[in-house]
A and B are shown apart, each in its own frame.
Chain A
């Protein structure tokens, strides 16, 4: 037998005679059926992902069936690690339309639309219950107001855990939507931000805050009490008595009134 005969036989083997090739279709059907049954036991949830351009720079966003699961600054130092963590938990599928919807919301939010951030949030990438509780507490800090690490720690019932609160902010997987930019230091300075202080500044300014050269909030901020609905000047003795966890730092008195608060009769913040 010549080399050419041998090559021909190889090409035909074994399709020509035993029909292996024709066996493939029914085998694939059976293989797929078995595999899909087996995959059901180990399947990861799906997440639609995409890259978007925003005034804050390019962002990578991921959305699960339950809501936005990740918003990442692509130029961040830990971006690769964050992407790996996301891939370990979800099956990623690129979906530009879904990503663009999130991009639109962020752009509208930065342009001043109070109700732009309408997507639900999925905190399944957050590893501990304390961190989830802290991030959920953050969702109660409305646009136009900020809180401090200390006040947030107190609000979640762990007044000594300011550092843990800081770490939770640093690892927040859904910045902008979970507004970790609304947490500042007790001395009124901005503190850090995962995407860089420059971005924190952009976000706070878009929400109505004036921030001075020293990266400190301007003097016109007022302190609003969540339960009494009264807002005061920062030096008011009534405000000093309030627990930090119950107090919001609001950009100015008009925003405080917009939140349904009334001015304090002791310090008269409107005069």
Chain B
């Protein structure tokens, strides 16, 4: 009758996508927002948006960067909202450059690293979190942030450089 067409591509069921990626999305959100309630809100919003847009997702495109793109866009919007309300410092306004010390005067306390990450410019902070806390490839970070792979690499590099300089 007719020659056999190429195989039909159907994306994995949404439930399966959720099961595969929920943990790393939650980890990314928690470490980017540093607030349990914010992370839970954004977790719900990320997956709801993903669900609504899922029928339009090209089955050939990678699911993971697409999900992180949604999550990171929501984080950026939330940050802007918080900056507008004056709850957090704007990008680049480092809260305290003096490193805090442990009570015994030893190594730098974890709190410093946390605040230092918070003070990174949004894009650098997101690229850094995706790379160091979730383990995304630079290619995936680039796809998630909508930039080139070189730019993703540069953002992570700059973030690490800044964090080291604050120590």
A residues sitting closer than 8 Å to B (CB atoms) are 1, 3, 5-6, 9-10, 13-14, 16-18, 20-21, 23-24, 27-28, 30-32, 34-35, 38-39, 42, 44, 49, 51, 56-58, 60, 74-75, 79, 83-84, 87-88, 91-94, 196, 198-199
**Sample of 17 more A-B contacts, CB < 8 Å, known A20-B31, A27-B26:** A9-B113, A10-B113, A13-B110, A13-B133, A23-B30, A23-B36, A24-B26, A31-B26, A31-B40, A35-B18, A35-B43, A57-B1, A79-B5, A87-B54, A87-B55, A91-B13, A196-B2
Q: B23, B36, B54, B55 — which one has the most chain A CB atoms within 10 A of its CB?
A: B55
Instruction: Please name the residue on chain B nearest to A12 by beta carbon.
Output: B110
Instruction: Please name the residue on chain A nearest to B9 by beta carbon.
Output: A83
Residues of A within 8 A of B39 (CB): 27
Residues of A within 8 A of B30 (CB): 20, 23-24, 27
How many positions in chain B have a CB within 8 Å of any CB in the partner chain? 40
From B1, B23, B51, B55, A24 is in contact (CB under 8 Å) with B23
B44 contacts A38, CB within 8 Å? Answer: yes
A10 contacts B40, CB within 8 Å? Answer: no
Known: A6-B167, A58-B5. A31 touches B44 (CB 8 A): yes
From B8, B13, B108, A51 is in contact (CB under 8 Å) with B8
Instruction: Please name the residue on chain B nearest to A27 by beta carbon.
Output: B26
What are some 6 contacts across the A-B interface (CB < 8 A)? Answer: A9-B108, A31-B43, A34-B43, A34-B44, A35-B18, A39-B47
B1 contacts A83, CB within 8 Å? Answer: no
Residues of B within 8 A of A30 (CB): 40
Residues of B within 8 A of A84 (CB): 55-56
B residues sitting closer than 8 Å to A (CB atoms) are 1-5, 7-8, 10-11, 13-14, 18, 22-23, 26-27, 30-31, 36, 39-40, 43-44, 47-48, 51-52, 54-56, 107-108, 110, 113-114, 132-133, 163-164, 167
A interface majority secondary structure: helix
B26 contacts A18, CB within 8 Å? Answer: no
Q: What is the distance, in angstroms, from A138's C-beta to the closest C-beta of chain B?
A: 23
Residues of A within 8 A of B48 (CB): 35, 38-39, 42
Q: How far, in whole Å, are A74 and B27 apart by their CA atoms in the complex?
A: 41
A1 contacts B107, CB within 8 Å? Answer: yes
Q: A16, A27, A198 — which one has the most chain B CB atoms within 10 A of its CB?
A: A27
Residues of A within 8 A of B164 (CB): 3, 6
Known: A17-B110, A31-B22, A35-B48. A24 touches B10 (CB 8 A): no
B2 contacts A75, CB within 8 Å? Answer: yes
A74 contacts B5, CB within 8 Å? Answer: yes
Residues of A within 8 A of B107 (CB): 1, 5
